[in-house]
Structure 1
Amino acid sequence: MGSLMKSLPLLSALLWAGAAPAADYHITISGMKFGPPPAGLKVGDVIVWRNDDIFRHTATARDKSFDIDLPPKSEGRMTVSRAGAVDFYCRFHPAMTGKLEVRP
Protein backbone atom coordinates (compact mmCIF):
# COMPACT_ATOMS: atom_id res chain seq x y z
CA MET A 1 0.00 0.00 0.00
CA GLY A 2 2.88 2.38 0.78
CA SER A 3 4.27 2.15 -2.76
CA LEU A 4 0.81 2.85 -4.20
CA MET A 5 0.48 5.96 -2.02
CA LYS A 6 3.90 7.18 -3.24
CA SER A 7 2.81 6.66 -6.88
CA LEU A 8 -0.43 8.64 -6.64
CA PRO A 9 1.16 12.12 -6.88
CA LEU A 10 3.14 11.06 -9.95
CA LEU A 11 0.04 9.54 -11.57
CA SER A 12 -1.95 12.70 -10.84
CA ALA A 13 0.77 14.86 -12.37
CA LEU A 14 0.87 12.71 -15.50
CA LEU A 15 -2.90 12.84 -15.92
CA TRP A 16 -2.93 16.62 -15.38
CA ALA A 17 -0.11 17.16 -17.89
CA GLY A 18 -2.17 15.50 -20.65
CA ALA A 19 -5.16 17.79 -20.16
CA ALA A 20 -4.37 21.20 -21.59
CA PRO A 21 -6.45 23.97 -20.02
CA ALA A 22 -8.92 25.84 -22.17
CA ALA A 23 -7.80 29.23 -23.44
CA ASP A 24 -9.68 32.49 -23.96
CA TYR A 25 -9.37 34.16 -27.36
CA HIS A 26 -10.72 37.52 -28.52
CA ILE A 27 -12.19 38.51 -31.86
CA THR A 28 -12.94 42.21 -32.15
CA ILE A 29 -15.34 43.75 -34.63
CA SER A 30 -14.25 47.21 -35.69
CA GLY A 31 -14.78 49.27 -38.82
CA MET A 32 -17.45 46.83 -40.05
CA LYS A 33 -14.92 43.93 -40.07
CA PHE A 34 -14.19 40.90 -37.93
CA GLY A 35 -10.66 40.86 -36.53
CA PRO A 36 -8.45 37.89 -37.42
CA PRO A 37 -9.57 34.54 -36.04
CA PRO A 38 -7.26 33.00 -33.45
CA ALA A 39 -4.65 30.45 -34.50
CA GLY A 40 -4.46 27.28 -32.44
CA LEU A 41 -8.15 27.26 -31.52
CA LYS A 42 -9.32 23.94 -30.06
CA VAL A 43 -12.48 22.35 -28.69
CA GLY A 44 -13.18 23.68 -25.20
CA ASP A 45 -11.58 27.10 -25.79
CA VAL A 46 -13.61 30.24 -25.24
CA ILE A 47 -14.04 33.01 -27.81
CA VAL A 48 -14.91 36.46 -26.52
CA TRP A 49 -16.53 38.42 -29.35
CA ARG A 50 -16.22 42.20 -28.88
CA ASN A 51 -18.22 44.69 -30.94
CA ASP A 52 -16.40 48.04 -30.95
CA ASP A 53 -18.62 49.45 -33.71
CA ILE A 54 -21.60 51.78 -33.30
CA PHE A 55 -23.78 49.25 -35.19
CA ARG A 56 -25.33 46.01 -33.97
CA HIS A 57 -23.60 42.88 -35.33
CA THR A 58 -23.78 39.13 -34.94
CA ALA A 59 -21.26 36.33 -35.13
CA THR A 60 -23.36 33.65 -36.80
CA ALA A 61 -22.11 30.26 -37.96
CA ARG A 62 -23.24 29.22 -41.41
CA ASP A 63 -23.77 25.69 -40.03
CA LYS A 64 -25.99 27.22 -37.27
CA SER A 65 -23.68 25.99 -34.48
CA PHE A 66 -23.57 29.46 -32.88
CA ASP A 67 -25.28 32.83 -33.18
CA ILE A 68 -23.95 35.59 -30.92
CA ASP A 69 -25.91 38.86 -30.89
CA LEU A 70 -23.65 41.86 -30.26
CA PRO A 71 -25.20 45.27 -29.64
CA PRO A 72 -22.81 48.23 -30.06
CA LYS A 73 -19.93 48.32 -27.54
CA SER A 74 -20.75 44.87 -26.12
CA GLU A 75 -19.17 41.44 -25.68
CA GLY A 76 -20.46 37.90 -26.03
CA ARG A 77 -18.76 34.64 -25.04
CA MET A 78 -18.98 31.16 -26.47
CA THR A 79 -17.24 27.86 -25.82
CA VAL A 80 -16.02 26.06 -28.93
CA SER A 81 -17.84 22.74 -29.01
CA ARG A 82 -16.55 20.88 -32.06
CA ALA A 83 -13.56 20.54 -34.34
CA GLY A 84 -13.40 21.54 -38.00
CA ALA A 85 -13.73 24.62 -40.15
CA VAL A 86 -16.66 26.92 -39.37
CA ASP A 87 -17.56 29.83 -41.64
CA PHE A 88 -19.28 32.74 -39.88
CA TYR A 89 -20.84 36.06 -40.85
CA CYS A 90 -22.90 38.96 -39.53
CA ARG A 91 -26.65 38.50 -40.13
CA PHE A 92 -27.11 42.28 -40.41
CA HIS A 93 -24.10 42.79 -42.71
CA PRO A 94 -23.62 39.57 -44.74
CA ALA A 95 -20.43 40.87 -46.41
CA MET A 96 -18.75 40.62 -42.99
CA THR A 97 -17.34 37.09 -42.91
CA GLY A 98 -14.70 34.95 -41.28
CA LYS A 99 -13.64 31.36 -40.67
CA LEU A 100 -12.66 29.50 -37.53
CA GLU A 101 -10.29 26.52 -37.78
CA VAL A 102 -10.81 24.32 -34.71
CA ARG A 103 -8.60 21.41 -33.71
CA PRO A 104 -9.86 18.51 -31.61
Structure 2
Amino acid sequence: MAAAVAAVGPAAAGATHTVAIEGMRFNPDSLTVERGDKIVWVNKDLVAHTATATAAHAFDSHEIAPNASWAYVARSPGRFAYVCALHPTMKANLIVKSKR
Protein backbone atom coordinates (compact mmCIF):
# COMPACT_ATOMS: atom_id res chain seq x y z
CA MET A 1 0.00 0.00 0.00
CA ALA A 2 2.71 2.47 0.88
CA ALA A 3 4.40 2.47 -2.53
CA ALA A 4 2.01 4.92 -4.18
CA VAL A 5 0.07 6.54 -1.39
CA ALA A 6 -0.22 6.53 2.36
CA ALA A 7 -3.19 7.03 4.60
CA VAL A 8 -4.22 10.60 5.23
CA GLY A 9 -2.90 11.87 8.54
CA PRO A 10 -2.94 15.15 10.41
CA ALA A 11 0.36 16.24 8.85
CA ALA A 12 -0.88 15.81 5.27
CA ALA A 13 -0.26 18.84 3.08
CA GLY A 14 -0.97 19.80 -0.49
CA ALA A 15 -3.99 20.24 -2.70
CA THR A 16 -7.11 18.09 -2.53
CA HIS A 17 -8.46 16.44 -5.69
CA THR A 18 -11.77 14.62 -6.07
CA VAL A 19 -12.53 11.62 -8.26
CA ALA A 20 -16.27 10.97 -8.62
CA ILE A 21 -17.39 7.39 -9.06
CA GLU A 22 -20.62 7.71 -10.98
CA GLY A 23 -22.32 5.88 -13.83
CA MET A 24 -19.88 2.97 -13.46
CA ARG A 25 -16.95 5.31 -14.30
CA PHE A 26 -14.16 7.20 -12.57
CA ASN A 27 -14.37 10.91 -13.35
CA PRO A 28 -11.83 12.09 -14.26
CA ASP A 29 -10.41 8.89 -15.68
CA SER A 30 -6.92 10.40 -15.58
CA LEU A 31 -5.74 12.69 -12.79
CA THR A 32 -2.34 14.35 -12.40
CA VAL A 33 -1.35 15.46 -8.91
CA GLU A 34 1.80 16.49 -7.08
CA ARG A 35 3.46 14.45 -4.39
CA GLY A 36 1.76 15.29 -1.08
CA ASP A 37 -1.64 16.01 -2.65
CA LYS A 38 -4.74 14.29 -1.28
CA ILE A 39 -7.06 12.37 -3.60
CA VAL A 40 -10.64 11.68 -2.48
CA TRP A 41 -12.74 9.09 -4.31
CA VAL A 42 -16.47 9.76 -3.79
CA ASN A 43 -18.88 6.96 -4.67
CA LYS A 44 -22.05 8.50 -6.13
CA ASP A 45 -23.27 5.19 -7.57
CA LEU A 46 -25.89 2.90 -6.04
CA VAL A 47 -23.40 0.01 -5.67
CA ALA A 48 -20.03 -0.40 -3.95
CA HIS A 49 -16.79 0.18 -5.87
CA THR A 50 -13.05 0.11 -5.23
CA ALA A 51 -10.05 2.11 -6.38
CA THR A 52 -7.44 -0.63 -6.71
CA ALA A 53 -4.05 -0.04 -8.30
CA THR A 54 -3.00 -2.69 -10.79
CA ALA A 55 0.60 -2.55 -9.49
CA ALA A 56 1.15 -4.73 -6.44
CA HIS A 57 1.18 -2.91 -3.09
CA ALA A 58 0.42 0.52 -4.60
CA PHE A 59 -3.06 1.26 -3.18
CA ASP A 60 -6.40 -0.42 -2.60
CA SER A 61 -9.45 1.29 -1.16
CA HIS A 62 -11.30 -1.97 -0.53
CA GLU A 63 -15.06 -1.46 -0.91
CA ILE A 64 -16.31 2.12 -0.97
CA ALA A 65 -20.00 1.98 -0.11
CA PRO A 66 -22.55 4.12 -1.98
CA ASN A 67 -22.47 7.73 -0.74
CA ALA A 68 -19.13 7.11 0.97
CA SER A 69 -15.61 8.28 0.18
CA TRP A 70 -12.01 7.17 0.57
CA ALA A 71 -8.97 9.43 0.73
CA TYR A 72 -5.23 8.94 0.28
CA VAL A 73 -2.20 11.18 0.04
CA ALA A 74 0.16 10.61 -2.91
CA ARG A 75 3.65 9.89 -1.57
CA SER A 76 5.59 8.37 -4.49
CA PRO A 77 5.91 9.82 -7.99
CA GLY A 78 4.82 7.65 -10.90
CA ARG A 79 1.93 6.57 -13.07
CA PHE A 80 -0.55 4.27 -11.35
CA ALA A 81 -3.24 2.51 -13.37
CA TYR A 82 -6.19 1.48 -11.24
CA VAL A 83 -9.50 -0.33 -11.60
CA CYS A 84 -12.61 -1.13 -9.64
CA ALA A 85 -11.90 -4.67 -8.43
CA LEU A 86 -15.65 -5.34 -8.39
CA HIS A 87 -16.20 -3.98 -11.93
CA PRO A 88 -12.87 -4.43 -13.81
CA THR A 89 -14.05 -2.55 -16.91
CA MET A 90 -13.87 0.63 -14.79
CA LYS A 91 -10.31 1.89 -15.38
CA ALA A 92 -8.40 5.09 -14.62
CA ASN A 93 -4.92 6.51 -14.06
CA LEU A 94 -3.35 8.46 -11.22
CA ILE A 95 -0.19 10.34 -12.21
CA VAL A 96 1.91 11.63 -9.31
CA LYS A 97 4.59 14.22 -10.11
CA SER A 98 7.38 15.40 -7.85
CA LYS A 99 6.84 18.84 -6.35
CA ARG A 100 8.62 21.62 -8.18
Q: TM-score range by the shorter chain?
A: 0.7 to 0.9
TM-score by length of structure 2 reads 0.78
1:93 maps to which residue? 87
- The whole-number CA distance in structure 2 between the counterparts of 1:83 and 1:25 is 16
Q: Quote the offset at 1:42 in angstroms.
A: 1.0
CA contact (8 A) 1:70 1:76 kept: yes
Between Structure 1 and Structure 2, which shows a larger proportion of strand residues? 2
Q: Please tell me the residue identity of whatever aligns with 2:59.
A: F
**Counterpart selection for 1:57 from 49, 52, 59:** 49
**Counterpart selection for 1:22 from 5, 8, 14:** 14
**Counterpart selection for 2:34 from 29, 35, 42:** 42
- The whole-number CA distance in structure 2 between the counterparts of 1:102 and 1:83 is 5
| RMSD, aligned α-carbons | 1.1
**Counterpart selection for 2:23 from 31, 37, 42:** 31
SS of 2:89's partner is coil
CA contact (8 A) 1:26 1:38 kept: no
**Counterpart selection for 1:66 from 59, 72, 75:** 59
Q: Please tell me the residue identity of whatever aligns with 1:92.
A: L
Gaps of 5+ in 1: 1-20
Runs of 4+ in 1 over 2 A off after TM superposition: none
TM-score by length of structure 1 reads 0.75
Structure ranking higher on relative contact order (CA contacts 8 Å, 6+ apart):
2
Between Structure 1 and Structure 2, which shows a larger proportion of helix residues? 1
